Each structure stands twice: as structure tokens, then as C-alpha cells.
Amino acid sequence: MTKKKHQNPPKPKEFHATPFSNLKGLELPEMTPAKIEKPEPPKPAEAPDNGLDLFLQAVADVKPLRAQSQKPVRADCGAKAVSTKMPALSAAEEQAGQLFIQEISRLKLDTKFVDSLPDDGELQPLSNNRLRQVKRGIVSVDYQLDLHGLTREEALLALPRFLLTARQKGQKAALIITGKGHHSAEEPVLQQAVASWLRDAGRDLVVEYAPAPREMGGGGAFVVFLRPLPPPK
């Protein structure tokens, strides 16, 4: 009786989990990191042309002219007239002046001494606004005519010429100094003659007039506001 050979059961195969074995030999493409592009800074906006800069560049080589010094003419009640030279009158103007003097000579003027003009309502006082402008210097009184030492005829001949010149120079107001009568018997005559002329014959040149403020001579002077020149035709 033969003995059966004892056969050992086969050993089970060891389990190897290699799921990616089939991928052996495959090459994956190299992954490169994505480039992050930085945004470009915004271009500065072109500045618009600056008119002032262009002007300064244009005049950079220009040399300024030397300004001539000019001294302003100020009114001073203690001084003589600003300008004693009057423009020459035409023959017609001379004749008109002589006729006016003849008419004035016919008037019977009171020659007694007076300290100031009588308050008889004949002179129209300057409005409060006008006086305020004069006192504050808003309206400058740069032209003045000093009639001290002149006869009535000489004063009345010089007066319209002076006012015409002041108006042609663009003056708004002027000062006429007659005196109060303290030093000469002729001064009250001048005072009344000037007042009469301003009231009547001077209407074409004068808008308003009145005794000057105290600091400009008081009753011994007149502040006269001139009519503006008519517009050119």
C-alpha cells in the first residue's frame, strides 16, 4: 500500500496594489507657473496748455520801460492855482467874455464886509452824498483857482477859462478861492460876483456848487461840480 504524498497547499500570491503601473513610461508635460502681468501705471494726462505759462514764455525777453515819475496834484487852499496858464481864447470867446463883464458891471453889488455868504437860499447846497464824497476824498478836488488879488473883471474873465480847462482835463470837481473879506474890501465883491456867475452864466459848465467844507476854506471858497463833456458826435 503506497503512501500518498502529502501535498502542501499552494501559497496565495501576495497582493500588490499598483494602480499606476500602467502609467509607467508616460511623461506629463512640465507645468510652468502662470505669469501674472502687472498692470501698467496709467499715463499722466497731458496738462492743457496754460495760457499764463505761454504768456510768460512769450514775454520772457521783453524788457519793461522805465516809468516816468508823476507827482499827483493835490488841492491846497493855501497855495496858488494849480495852473495859471490858460489856453488862448478865440476872438468869439473874447467878445463873449467882454459882453459878460459889461452885463456884470451893470449889477449893483453890495460891497460891505461880510464874513460869509448870506443864507438867502440862492445857492443850492451840495447834496449830502456829494459832500461826503468830497470830505472822504472819493471825489478828488485837484484843480483850484485862487482869485486873491484880482479885480472883479479879471476874476470873471479867468473863471470860465479855468472851468473849461478843468472839464477838458476830465476833472469832476474844482475849488474856487475868493476869500472871506478879512484882508481886502474887494474879497466880498469877488465872492458875490462868483456866486452870481455860477448861478446864472455858469449853468452850462456847473452842475452843483456850494461853500467849501471848513477844511477846504469854508465860506471863503466854493466847491464846484462840473458837467461832463458831451459825447462826441
Any domain includes 71? no
Q: Does residue 190 belong to any structural domain of this protein? A: yes
Say if 10 falls within a structural domain.
no
Q: Is residue 73 part of a domain?
A: no
Give 167-207 pLDDT, tens digit per residue. Answer: 998 888 888 988 765 555 556 788 888 989 988 888 889 88
Residue 57 lies in a domain: no
Distance CA 170, CA 166 (A): 7
For 38-86, how does the pLDDT look when each residue is reduced to its tens digit (9 = 90+)?
667 666 555 545 556 666 666 566 565 554 444 444 444 443 444 444 5
The x, y and z cell numbers of residue 1, run together, are: 500500500
Q: What is the mean pLDDT of the chain?
A: 67
Listed residue (44, 33, 199, 180) closest to 113, CA to CA: 180
Q: Which residues contact 178 (CB under 8 A, 6 or more apart)?
A: 147, 155, 187, 190, 191, 194, 220, 221, 222
In a domain, residue 152? The reply is yes
CA–CA distance, 186 with 151 (Å, rounded to integer): 7
54 is a domain residue: no
Q: What is the CATH number of the domain that holds 220?
A: 3.30.1370.110
Q: Which residue range is the domain that position 145 belongs to?
A: 128-226
Position 154 in a domain = yes
Give the total number of structural domains in the chain.
1
Q: What's the DSSP call for residue 220?
A: G
